[in-house]
Amino acid sequence: MEPTTPDPTSANFSPTPFSPPPPPPTPTRSVGKKIFLILIIVIILALIGGGVFAYTVVFEAPRAALTESFATITTAQSFHQDVAIKVVTDSPTAFTAEGTIATDIEQLASGERRMATIITGKSAGFFVSAEVRFLDQTLYGKVIEFPLLSLLDLSTSTSTNPLGKWFSVSLGDIESFMTEQGADPADIAKVKEQINKISQTEGAPQFSELIEKGVLVFGGRATVAKVGVDWTRQYTVTIDKDKLASWLAEIDPRTPTESLKSITFDPIIITIGLFDPSLKKIAGGIKGMVGSGTVSFTVTYRDINGSITVAKPNNAIPLVQYIKQSMGEAESKRKEAGIKADFSDLHIVARNYYDQKKSYTNLCTQEPSFASVMKNIEAVTNQKPICRAKSTAFLMAGNTSSTTVWCVDSTGFSGGVDKIPTGFVCK
């Protein structure tokens, strides 16, 4: 039987209720979950990176970190180093002394390092300043200010006054001079070795050796500190005096290590870069080294691998030549002083001669003391003095140096005059 279609006009018609289609399924939050997962991964990576950073910056082994830091100096082509030293003591004499040593180091493409240092210091109102350079196996030096030189005869002569002049001494000059003085060849070799070390910086190897010998003891890992405008790592290092004494004795058995017993070393603070291993600063102190006083020091570094040039000074005077010249002038002054003293004694000699002869006649030729003085003057000045005598008067005069004429006569005068007199009276 075929199905019939309901007739909507019929009285028995009943409409079927309308049911709307179901809504589409709600989308999941898969995109948000991915973003959250990425954030978690980023945080984990940041924590891992921070841990690595903390280890390398703060928790890295001090020996490895500091050895690498010292190597930044020993292998640098150039750098500037400032050393500040202060000494304060109250026994047996209270005084304070301060000084700075500013050094430029230049490493050429080939050859030894060049060094230029300016040294300044002050204490008790005195100020000292000098400059030193070392290059091409030659040491150059200039004293800029040194008050005590005024007490020496060398500073009174224009030709030998060393202030403000550059002097030079090569290794060859030192060897020749020490050989002339009869020095032992072993001592000569040791001096040359020490001078050669001036241009060498062996901080990293020596630092490692001090650690291996137990001389340097690390207090712990680094701390982060801000020095000036820079963030840095700081390590604390102490010194084992017994190990230091043993190490010094190994280097040279003659080292007076017993004196270390009265010395106390303050902890040494070594500062290096926060993000790089460059050495920044070394600071420490020593007590008991100078009486009951303290010695504090600070060493800072900058311009590592910067543009630094160490030049040879102009018009440097060879030091050996200067010493020989100074010694010659000192000897001439000694002889001149002796001649002046002899002149003063001639009054007594002449008076005795007159008392015996009742005349000064022949005084110049027959009295040995007069003849001796005349001979000494001629030997020093290469000029023969004059001596005149008659029965009632005498005069003797001569050049005791290139500018001084000394005269003595029968009136009792003995002293310097402008020129050799023509008669029997000095003035």
H or E segment to which residue 307 belongs: none
In our burial notation (b when 16+ CB lie closer than 10 A, e otherwise), range 193-210 reads eebeeebebebbeebbeb
Inside any domain, residue 238: no
245, pLDDT greater than 50: yes
Quote the longest CA-to-CA distance of the chain.
196
> Greater confidence, 27 or 251?
251
H or E segment to which residue 102 belongs: strand 95-107
73, pLDDT greater than 90: no
Inside any domain, residue 399: yes
Handedness of CA 230, 235, 241, 247 (dihedral sign): negative
How far CA 283 is from CA of 97, 237, 270, 300, 327, in Å, comes to 18, 10, 7, 9, 43
Inside any domain, residue 117: no
Tokens standing for residue 289: 């080294």
Q: What tens digit of pLDDT does each residue of 382-401 get?
A: 888 899 999 999 999 988 76
Residue 18 confidence (pLDDT): 45
Q: What tens digit of pLDDT does each residue of 316-358 get?
A: 888 877 777 777 777 777 777 877 887 777 888 898 999 999 9
Residue 387 confidence (pLDDT): 92
Mean local confidence (pLDDT), 240-257: 83
Q: What tens digit of pLDDT does each residue of 347-366 get?
A: 888 989 999 999 999 999 88
- What DSSP character marks residue 245? H
Residue identified by tokens 């080292």 is 255
Backbone angles phi, psi at 38, to 5 degrees: -65, -40
Inside any domain, residue 413: yes
280, pLDDT greater than 80: yes
CA dist 180 and 182 (Å) reads: 5
Q: What tens digit of pLDDT does each residue of 172-228 get?
A: 887 887 888 788 888 888 777 776 665 555 444 566 678 778 888 887 778 888 887
Q: What is the 3-state composition of the chain as percent helix, strand, coil, each rounded to the nearest 5?
A: 40, 30, 35
Structural domains of the chain, count: 1
Burial of 139 (0-12, 13-18, 19+ CB in 10 A): buried
Report the share of the chain in percent with pLDDT over 90: 16
Inside any domain, residue 165: no
Among 188, 209, 220, 167, which Cα is nearest to 326's?
167
Inside any domain, residue 366: yes
For the whole model, what pTM was predicted? 0.62
How far CA 175 is from CA of 86, 166, 197, 322, in Å, comes to 35, 20, 16, 16
Residue 406 confidence (pLDDT): 87
CA dist 69 and 323 (Å) reads: 43
Most trustworthy range by pLDDT among 101-105, 142-146, 289-293? 101-105
Residues facing residue 237 across a β-bridge: 218, 268
Inside any domain, residue 14: no
Containing structural domain, residue 400: 321-417
Tokens standing for residue 213: 């010998």
Inside any domain, residue 371: yes
Q: How confident is the model at residue 120 (pLDDT cuts 50, 70, 90)?
A: very high
